[in-house]
């Protein structure tokens, strides 16, 4: 069985330990020859990397494992590249969230002005990283889930139009499907969804039972109305995520046609959400106090002990397992179905061809084969065209160094919708991002 070489870009991420555990757990299904962690932050990466060394020595000695900040060492001879960089770290995420909130506008890492700010930071570093990767591994599959995935996907579409081995993907739609399975009392693999939208802005039109073909959406609608909606892993979630999933009930009361992605709340209730987010303690603060703290403490305990035995349980992490299954579907030409970000070209018939949309696709060694959803109703078309314009204008602003395009991107965004507020927030974001953004004139 072929062994695959894989590098994780953003190896110091809070999600990396989950990936390392999942690679161990899934080694029979997806054997690795070499696993490399690459990060620009040596200190952050060494904690995760030293933990990984101990884990792999004990559970996966047949795979070569190492971590590095050197590009050549990281990218040589790779089959797969998993990209999970957070440019600017949680400190910049905190500003992305707090600056708009100071002006009464949603502060969120991927939606609205926060997403715009993070998008311009990610675009520059993602483009650089992909040129570096292609120098050493011209044929590797690049799986990107660095955020904001919608804006990054638009940038990569423009920068690398002929590179058919870059796949942009997010596991939030899958997370919603898994949460439906919890409510229905079945396994998520029994469900076969139909979905349309943009990344972090979409809807399920049907959730079929894979065996019988029955559409379970009416049943789900009734269950959600009666019991609300919880993430599949509710017991491990922070308060803000439980509130986010809780909003699905409200979304379905107001717009009962389809089951929404949880992120839709920011676009459909911007005033309500902005009023209910704490401008002094945002999600970045919550993550720094919870996941980031926990992950780094756990790694340090294992490093001090010199062993994982007695300290961790090896089980797959849902996020990591999902991304590894994506890689397996490509590696083994499985043509499994995933919800993927693709260039539209008719998948959503009444949206532009060059929009990066999110739909179900079969995924094999020749890439995604998107499934068509036909024409979408006017309400959804209007919402998505508006957001697509905002995302395209953000990338126009990046390439043209244009303040005007940036202002237009924020003004047209539903979470802002006011040119005066857009200008004030943009000026504050320019100041905060001066080490990261191209100059906007």
Ligand X SMILES: O=P(O)(O)OC[C@H]1O[C@H](O[C@H]2[C@H](O)[C@@H](O)[C@@H](O)O[C@@H]2CO)[C@H](O)[C@@H](O)[C@@H]1O
Q: Residues with catalytic annotation? A: 171, 263
Decide if residue 316 touches ligand X (CB under 6 A).
Answer: no
3-class SS of residue 195: strand
Instruction: Give the range of 53-61, 169-177, 210-218, 302-310 binding Mn ion by CB under 5 A.
Output: 169-177
Which residues touch 316 (CB under 8 Å, ≥6 apart)? Answer: 21, 22, 25, 26
Comparing CB distances to Mn ion, the nearer of 51 and 203 is: 203
Q: Which of 5, 108, 172, 413 binds Mn ion (CB under 5 A)?
A: 172
Q: Which of residues 280-309 bind ligand X (CB under 6 A)?
A: 283, 287
The residue sitting closest to ligand NAD, measured at its beta carbon, is: 12
The token pair at 46 is: 């060494």
Q: Which of 5, 7, 10, 49 binds ligand NAD (CB under 6 A)?
A: 10
Whether residue 148 is preceded by a cis peptide bond, meaning omega within 30 degrees of 0, is yes
Distance CA 298, CA 18 (A): 12
Comparing CB distances to Mn ion, the nearer of 172 and 433 is: 172
Judge whether 139 is annotated as a binding position: no
Decide which of Mn ion, ligand X, ligand NAD, none touches 175; Cβ closer than 5 to 8 Å per partner kind.
ligand X
Distance CA 181, CA 188 (A): 5
Q: In the complex, what is the shortest distance from the CB of residue 10 to ligand NAD, in angstroms, rounded to a whole number?
A: 3
Compute CA distances 54 → 5, 17, 21, 101, whole Å. 19, 12, 12, 42
User: Residue count at the site for Mn ion (CB under 5 A)?
Assistant: 2
Decide if residue 340 touches Mn ion (CB under 5 A).
Answer: no
Judge whether 178 is annotated as a binding position: no
Cα atoms found within 13 Å of the Cα of residue 208, Cβ hemisphere only = 10
Comparing CB distances to Mn ion, the nearer of 60 and 338 is: 338
169: β partners = 340
Instruction: Give the range of 143-151, 184-192, 325-333, 369-377 binding ligand NAD by CB under 6 A.
Output: 143-151
Compute CA distances 65 → 68, 179, 307, whole Å. 10, 34, 16
80: β partners = 6, 141
Angle subtended at Cα 310 by Cα 307 and Cα 314, rounded to the nearest 5 degrees: 85
Binding site residues, Mn ion, CB under 5 A:
170, 172
Binding site residues, ligand X, CB under 6 A:
147, 170-172, 175, 283, 287, 318-319
């Amino acid at each position: 069985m072929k062994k695959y070489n894989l590098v994780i870009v953003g190896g110091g991420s809070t999600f990396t330990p989950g990936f390392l555990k999942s690679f161990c757990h899934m080694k029979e299904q997806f054997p690795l020859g070499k696993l490399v962690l690459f990060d620009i932050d040596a200190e952050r990466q060494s904690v995760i990397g030293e933990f990984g060394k101990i884990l792999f020595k004990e559970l996966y000695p047949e795979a070569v494992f190492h971590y590095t900040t050197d590009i050549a060492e990281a990218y040589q001879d790779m089959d797969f590249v998993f990209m999970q960089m957070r440019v600017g770290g949680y400190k910049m995420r905190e500003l992305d969230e707090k600056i708009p909130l100071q002006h009464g506008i949603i502060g969120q890492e991927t939606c609205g002005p926060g997403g715009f700010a993070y998008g311009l930071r990610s675009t520059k570093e993602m483009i650089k990283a992909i040129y570096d990767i292609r120098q050493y591994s011209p044929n590797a599959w690049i799986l990107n889930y660095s955020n904001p995935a919608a804006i990054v996907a638009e940038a990569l579409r423009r920068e690398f139009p002929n590179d058919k081995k870059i796949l942009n993907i997010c596991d939030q739609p899958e997370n919603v499907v898994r949460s439906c399975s919890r409510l229905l009392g079945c396994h998520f693999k029994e469900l076969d969804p139909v979905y349309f939208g943009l990344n972090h802005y979409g809807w399920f039109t049907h959730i079929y039972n894979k065996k019988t073909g029955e559409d379970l959406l009416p049943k789900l609608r009734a269950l959600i109305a009666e019991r609300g909606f919880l993430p599949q892993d509710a017991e491990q979630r922070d308060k803000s995520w439980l509130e986010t999933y809780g909003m699905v009930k409200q979304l379905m009361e107001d717009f009962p046609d389809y089951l929404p992605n949880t992120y839709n709340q920011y676009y459909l209730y911007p005033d309500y959400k902005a009023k209910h987010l704490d401008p002094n303690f945002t999600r970045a603060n919550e993550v720094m106090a919870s996941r980031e703290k926990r992950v780094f403490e756990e790694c340090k305990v294992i490093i001090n002990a010199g062993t994982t035995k007695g300290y961790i349980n090896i089980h797959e992490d849902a996020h990591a397992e999902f991304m590894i299954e994506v890689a397996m579907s490509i590696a083994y030409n499985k043509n499994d179905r995933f919800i993927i970000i693709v260039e539209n070209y008719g998948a959503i018939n009444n949206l532009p061809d060059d929009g990066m949309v999110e739909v179900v696709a079969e995924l094999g060694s020749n890439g995604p084969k998107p499934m068509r959803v036909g024409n979408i109703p006017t309400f959804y078309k209007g919402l998505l065209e508006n957001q697509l314009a905002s995302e395209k204008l953000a990338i126009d602003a990046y390439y043209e160094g244009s303040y005007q395009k940036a202002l237009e991107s924020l003004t047209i965004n539903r979470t802002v919708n006011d040119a005066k507020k857009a200008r004030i927030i943009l000026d504050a974001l320019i100041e905060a991002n001066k080490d990261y953004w191209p100059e906007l004139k």
